[in-house]
Structure 1
Amino acid sequence: MKKLVLSVAVLLGSLSTFAAIAPVQNSVEKVITIADEYTEIKIEELPTAVTDALKIAYPDAVISKAYVSETKEYKLDVKMGDKEGSLFADENGKWIQK
């Protein structure tokens, strides 16, 4: 449970979609968009390594949605009791901090 809460806190803290950079000269502001492109997939399409890692780390977690990126990183929307959050893993079931 602590891992899920920590993962959700880290995720929410790092979900800055926009980062603004103001140059020293001029009053021009540049905006950089940072976004990972994930495509929703069926839960059954998740690699066994990812689902096994979830069962070990969070045995009470239920996957509500699953996504995959072009780099084979998986985003899992999970629910544990009354808490919801997202977890990220590579195709080998190793957790990714985002």
Structure 2
Amino acid sequence: MKNLALATVLSFVGITAFANVETPELETNNAIEIVVGDFEEIDVSDLPSAVTTAVEENYPTAKIAKAYKNDEDQYKLDLTLEDGTTGTVYADAEGNWIDM
């Protein structure tokens, strides 16, 4: 009976030893770059009227300093307020604001 118990324990240990799979180490020194979209600068005059209207309604004291457009017809707008404060907002072609 002792031999049966000992054989069972040894076989279990032998099976689990072969079942141990080495997992690769996680590399923590890699940098991850997230690309929101490839925006290319465009003239402010090339913006759709819906976008300029949205800026005028929501930011009445702001001027559009620079405008950018990506392949998905999304616009990145660098705004400057009268007090010198600057900020960036994103909009689609219909003048809806986008969170990015």
- Indicate whether the TM-score tops 0.5: yes
Instruction: Report which of the two structures shows the higher radius of gyration computed on alpha carbons.
Output: 2
- For 2:24 and 2:66, how far apart are their aligned partners in 1? 46
**Greater relative contact order (Cα < 8 A, sep 6+):** 1
Corresponding residue SS for 1:59: coil
The structure that is helix-richer by fraction is 2
TM-score of the superposition, structure 1-length normalised? Answer: 0.70
Runs of 5+ unmatched residues, structure 2: 1-22
Post-superposition offset of 1:31: 3.5
- For 1:71 and 1:33, how far apart are their aligned partners in 2? 20
Aligned-pair identity (%): 36
Corresponding residue SS for 1:89: strand
Instruction: Spell out structure 1 runs of 4+ moving beyond 3 A.
Output: none
Q: How many residues align?
A: 75
Aligned to 2:34: 34
Q: What RMSD over aligned residues (CA atoms) do the two structures have, in Å?
A: 1.5
- For 1:65 and 1:46, how far apart are their aligned partners in 2? 10
TM-score of the superposition, structure 2-length normalised? Answer: 0.69
